[in-house]
Amino acid sequence: MKTIGIQIKSTTAILVVLEKDTNGVIAQTNESVKFDIQEPNDSKQVKQFRDQVNAAFDSINPDRIGIVVRNAKAKGDRTPSPISFKLEGIIQLYDKVDIEFIWPQTLTAHFKKKPQTQSAKHKYQEDAFNVSYYLNIK
């Protein structure tokens, strides 16, 4: 079982890839990566982002892909960047595996019942790691 968890932060999509081996051990692979768009109004960069994401998904060949839902109605510091919705839309267009949306509350409730014992290789990958882990065991 191979899963990709994605967190979109501003203009960057953070991908964490987890793989469960035949003994049931889940480990983060070195395919984890982040992609960004520096100029969201530049069509070339938008297409490059699309190509990078699609090539990564094709290459990783995951069983499930999930994105952390960002609350579109959140205010103040938590307001999601409008560009993040553009990135989300591009990712959703991938048609070989369904893109699942996972609410942060779902993850919190799940890990409350079954505490998380592993963590991401890097701090910034934490939310994407949790989505990937959730998809891998659920």
Partner 1 sequence: MGELNDEDCAESIRHFVRNNPDVTVYDYIHRGCNGEVYFGKRNKMGDDVVLKFYWSHPNYDATEEAVILKNINHSNILKIHDLRFLAPNYAYFLTPKISGGDLQGIIENRNLSTKEVLNIIAGILLGLTELHSAQKLVHRDLKPGNILIDLAGIRPIIADLGSVKKIDSRNGYVTASKSTILYLPPETLVSNKYYFQSDIYQVGIIFFQLLRGFFPINEPYKWLSKREAKKLDLIKNIIEKENAFVGLIKAKIIKGNLIDLSTLPYYLDSQFKRVLHRALNIDYEERYKTPFLFLKDIHQLLRKCPDYIQELGSLRINHDSGKQFQIYKNTNEDFVVEKRMANKAWRKDNSHNGTIKSILSIVRIN
Applying CB under 8 A, does 58 fall inside the site for partner 1? yes
Nearest-CA neighbor of 131 among 65, 71, 78, 84? 65
Q: Which of 70, 69, 59 is nearest to 17 (CA)?
A: 59
Which residue lies nearer to partner 1 by CB, 37 or 69?
37
Is residue 93 a contact residue for partner 1 (CB under 8 A)? Answer: no
To the nearest whole angstrom, how small is the minimum distance from the Cβ of residue 94 to partner 1? 13
Residues 59 to 88 in contact with partner 1, rule: CB under 8 A: 59-61
Q: Does 48 help bind partner 1 (rule: CB under 8 A)?
A: yes
Q: Residue 85 and residue 80: Cα distance in Å, rounded? A: 8
Of 62 and 66, which CB lies nearer to partner 1 in the complex structure?
A: 62
Size of the site for partner 1 (CB under 8 A): 18
Beta 33-36 vs 12-20: how paired, if at all? antiparallel
d(CA 95, CA 7): 19
CB of 80 to partner 1, least distance (A): 24
What residues have CB less than 8 Å from 138, skipping those under 6 apart? 110
Report the interface residues with partner 1, using CB under 8 A: 30-31, 33, 35, 38-39, 42, 44-45, 48, 51-52, 55-56, 58-61
